Amino acid sequence: MLFLSTSTWQPENSQEVIDHFKKLRPPAGVNIKNQWVDISGGRYFILYETEDSKAFAEFNLPWSDVCFIDSCPVMESTEFVKLMSSREG
């Protein structure tokens, strides 16, 4: 399953967040698809895939001391349209 996470942090935590990024190593079972940084500051976006709830937690929990993470499962819009079309009777 694909997840899109948005991490936000307070300006005073910027250096700690940068230090975390330098050490970013996803656990087994997490496949990072892409990452983006809001160049105006304070936000980071990451798209990754995992089927393992333990790996999901291992990937996200270490950040909880320096930022807030909002994650949601996502799918490509073409796949969503196919799914919804197949449900129509």
pLDDT confidence of 58, banded at 50, 70, 90? Answer: very high
**Which domain does 73 fall in, by range?**
2-87
Q: How many domains does the chain have?
A: 1
Sign of CA dihedral 72, 38, 59, 49: positive
Q: What is the mean pLDDT of residues 27-34?
A: 96
| pLDDT tens column, 2-23 | 999 999 999 999 999 889 888 8
Phi, psi of 39 (to 5 degrees): -70, -10
Q: Output the domain CATH number for residue 7.
A: 3.30.70.1060
Is residue 1 helix, strand or coil? coil
pLDDT of residue 87: 82
What is the token pair recorded at 43?
Answer: 């936000």
Region 47-68: mean pLDDT is: 92
End-to-end CA distance of the chain, in Å? 26
